[in-house]
Amino acid sequence: MTFAANSRFEQMLGEGVARPVFFQGVFPFLGSGLTNPRLLNSELIYTVPTGCKAALMYFRGGNASDQLIYLSVMSDGVARRYFPIGPQDGTHVELVIKDEISPGTRLELHLAAGSGVMGTVVVDVGFLEWKEK
């Protein structure tokens, strides 16, 4: 794990050696159980390119359903981070611990909700990608 100050990442962006990558959109969902997360949408997949690293910088999400949901950032099929969102609520998390994500890692955004729960979720998840030195 890396404990990284935002200034390092801001500097990388300013110097043009890093670029932002986003998972963004408004998506309908139908829950299949809180212990059964599913890929939210096929647009929400990102593979860290060869020769690069990445870091999850922040998560913003809104839940328009009347039930608790959670979103999870999956890393090669394993949950990396969980973000619960209450009914009719939203959240913003700027991560303090920013793990470096290795080249070739496949990242996906999954959602879990109670069985039969229908709703809409708004997501804005930010990653930063940079060339390995």
DSSP 51-94: TEEEEEEEEEEEE-SSS-EEEEEEETTEEEEEEEE-TTEEEEEE
pLDDT computed for residue 6 by the predictor: 59
Would 105 be classed as within a structural domain?
Answer: yes
- pLDDT for 74-104, tens place per residue? 999 999 999 999 999 999 999 988 999 999 9
Tokens of residue 123, six digits: 């997501």
Provide the residue range defining the domain that includes 126.
Answer: 6-131
CATH number, domain at 52? Answer: 2.60.120
Domain count for the chain, please give it: 1
**Amino acid letter at 34?**
L
Would 15 be classed as within a structural domain?
Answer: yes
Query: Could you tell me the pLDDT band of residue 7, with boundaries at 50, 70 and 90?
Result: confident
pLDDT at 10 over 90: no
The candidate with the shortest Cα–Cα distance to 121, out of 54, 42, 56, 41, is 41
Query: Could you tell me the pLDDT band of residue 1, with boundaries at 50, 70 and 90?
Result: very low
Mean pLDDT, residues 66-77 taken together? 98
Pairwise CA distance, residues 57 & 30, whole Å: 28
Would 1 be classed as within a structural domain?
Answer: no
- 16 or 6: which leads in pLDDT: 16
pLDDT at 25 over 90: yes
- Report the chain's mean pLDDT, rounded to a whole number: 93
The H-or-E segment that residue 8 falls in is helix 6-14
pTM of the model: 0.91
